[in-house]
Amino acid sequence: MTEAMQQITLAARPVGAPKDSDFALLDAPLPTPKDGEVLVRVHYMSLDPYMRGRMDDAKSYAAPVPIGGVMEAGGVGEVIASKSDAFKVGDMTFGMFGWATHGCLPAKEMRKLDARLPVTTALGVLGMPGFTGWYGLMELGRPKEGETLVVAAATGPVGSMVGQMAKARGLRTIAIAGGADKCKLATEKFGFDAAIDHRAHDDASSLRRALAEVAPKGIDIYFENVGGKVFEAVLPLMNTFGRIPVCGMIAGYNAGALGGNEQSTVPDRLPMLWRSILVKQMSINGFIISNHFDLYPAFLNEVAPLVATGKIEVLEDIAEGLENAPRAFMGLLEGRNVGKQIVKLI
């Protein structure tokens, strides 16, 4: 067994979009598990938009990564040493191992993987992103047959879950995606009824007109994970008693911490926004998925069989090598990935 590992740490706090010099690839001693701990050789790690917020030194729902600290990430890998009765060498497991080739965690913080499913599904469709889409739609979106749903970033792991679950429940589903190829994926692979390329519209007014054409009865559920001009386009089209689950605002992440210098027209329109919410009696709910993992077993019970039988489509974008994780992450924030962004380490 090798005596060293590699990890990527936060070298500097980004100003705007992250750049190469904000990260450092370092060698580190291989940890030795203590009683109750397990050592894992990570095979795949997840890249997710929330990581951008962890790079800012600002008050939020989770502590920031310290300068010199290992970037956070979920990963899947093989147990190579165990001091816990819950895991044996050779088991495949999920844990928050960070941007690293190895991880050592207490067994209680890890989850053994279902050998019948590809291990990467634990990072996307059956991991935090898929669970986020399922929870936000089912618990906060409260979908009803015949309604109209809109979701942006529709070919990503969250948006594609939302669209497929809504479609299965008899809703009209409308995707917003970046580029003609992603729009084609949305309709042909994930089954959306219509797809709109937000890059083909310079402003919210133009995007709103396009949405109105494909949603003639208005919008009942908007699953918010983008913000920016998409939110501005959607809001006036929301129906009375509409629901907006808010799980992310990726369009503004590179602007920095909350209260930063985002160049948005929304603050200038707050009176109109709040009046629209009042008059249409809408429900807008922000949520942090880590607060709802008591429902994760119910999610797995419903969705894992659908993934296993191909009734839920899966799309993954896999980069090779830990050293390429920063570039893949930068691309994720710019929408260059196609599907769930994963990094293969072995």
Give residue 227's pLDDT band: very low, low, confident or very high (50, 70, 90).
confident
166 and 47 in a single domain? The answer is no
Q: What is residue 268's predicted lDDT score, i.e. its pLDDT? A: 62
65 and 159 in a single domain? The answer is no
Whether 145 is covered by a domain: the verdict is yes
Q: What is residue 302's predicted lDDT score, i.e. its pLDDT? A: 97
Nearest to 9 by CA among 55, 72, 75, 68: 68
Q: Please give the average per-residue pLDDT across 253-268, as a whole number.
A: 50
Residues 6+ apart with CB under 8 A from 144: 169, 171, 220
For residue 258, pLDDT beyond 80? no
Whether 146 is covered by a domain: the verdict is yes
233 and 135 in a single domain? The answer is yes
74 and 144 in a single domain? The answer is no
Give residue 224's pLDDT band: very low, low, confident or very high (50, 70, 90).
very high
157 and 14 in a single domain? The answer is no
Cα separation, 326 vs 203, whole angstroms: 30
pLDDT digits (tens, 9 = 90+) for 321-331: 999 999 999 99
Residue 41 is part of which domain span? 4-124+314-344
Cα separation, 65 vs 72, whole angstroms: 8
Whether 306 is covered by a domain: the verdict is no
For residue 254, pLDDT beyond 80? no
Number of folded domains in the chain?
2
155 and 98 in a single domain? The answer is no
Nearest to 197 by CA among 188, 210, 209: 210
Give residue 262's pLDDT band: very low, low, confident or very high (50, 70, 90).
very low
| CATH number reported for the structural domain that contains residue 65 in this entry | 3.90.180.10
For residue 233, pLDDT beyond 80? yes
109 and 149 in a single domain? The answer is no
Q: What is residue 267's predicted lDDT score, i.e. its pLDDT? A: 54
Q: Please give the average per-residue pLDDT across 63-75, as a whole number.
A: 96
Name the pairing type of β-strands 111-112 and 148-152. Answer: unpaired
Give residue 59's pLDDT band: very low, low, confident or very high (50, 70, 90).
confident
| CATH number reported for the structural domain that contains residue 219 in this entry | 3.40.50.720
Cα separation, 194 vs 206, whole angstroms: 17
142 and 86 in a single domain? The answer is no
For residue 226, pLDDT beyond 90? no
Q: What is residue 260's predicted lDDT score, i.e. its pLDDT? A: 42
For residue 71, pLDDT beyond 50? yes
137 and 66 in a single domain? The answer is no
Cα separation, 179 vs 189, whole angstroms: 15
For residue 248, pLDDT beyond 70? yes
Average pLDDT taken over every residue of the chain: 92
Q: Please give the average per-residue pLDDT across 242-250, as a whole number.
A: 88
162 and 14 in a single domain? The answer is no
pLDDT digits (tens, 9 = 90+) for 139-157: 999 999 999 999 999 999 9
Q: What is residue 270's predicted lDDT score, i.e. its pLDDT? A: 64
For residue 223, pLDDT beyond 90? yes
